[in-house]
Structure formats: C-alpha cells, structure tokens
Amino acid sequence: MDISTNERFQNIENQVVDLICGVCELEVNDQSVSLDSSIKDLGIDSIRFMNLLISIEDVIGREIEDIIEGIEFSELKTVGDIVELVKKFKV
C-alpha cells in the first residue's frame, strides 16, 4: 500500500469511529473505542445500529438500500467489521 492509500484507510477508520461515538454518545477521543471494540459492548442496539447505517451512507457515498444485498449483518460484530464494510463499498 502506498502512503495515500494508507492515509485514506486511516481517514475511513477515523470517520467510522467518529460516527460510532456520535451514535453511542461517547467522546470521540474515548480510548474504549478501537477496531476490536464489540458494537454490542459499546451499547449499539438495533435502533442505534440503524442510525449508524444511515450515517454510513454519507461516508460511502451510496444509499444503504443500494448495497444491502452485499451486507451480511450477522458478521458486523466489531468496529473493525464496520470499517471493512465502509472500505468495501466506498465509491
């Protein structure tokens, strides 16, 4: 990976963490939010999860309904899983 790709992925990670912190009402600099953090442990229930998905639309530049068939929701267990989802579908 070149530096620009690394920076782009880091930016995606930061955007996803910011969104999760917003949905969970956590401080953005909260050290408890890492790529390994369980979304369940962060308090993301079904309503917050839907809010997160809607927020992710802005990051990926696509409507969730356009990509929903490519998402395996049962596999989204950690912040890192959500970051990978965004990387997969970002235009």
Enter the CATH code of domain 3-89. Answer: 1.10.1200.10
End-to-end CA distance of the chain: 18
Q: pLDDT per residue over 23-60, tens digit each?
A: 888 776 666 788 999 999 998 999 999 999 999 998 89
Q: For residue 78, what are the β-bridge partners?
A: 38
* Mean model confidence pLDDT for the chain: 87
User: What's the CA gap between 48 and 11, in Å, rounded?
Assistant: 22
Q: Is the pLDDT of residue 4 over 80?
A: no
In angstroms, the CA 33 to CA 37 distance is 6
Per DSSP, the three-state class of 78 is strand
Rg (CA), the chain: 13
Interval 63-78 mean pLDDT: 90
For residue 69, what are the contacts with CB-CB under 8 A and spacing of at least 6? Answer: none
pTM of the model as a whole: 0.83
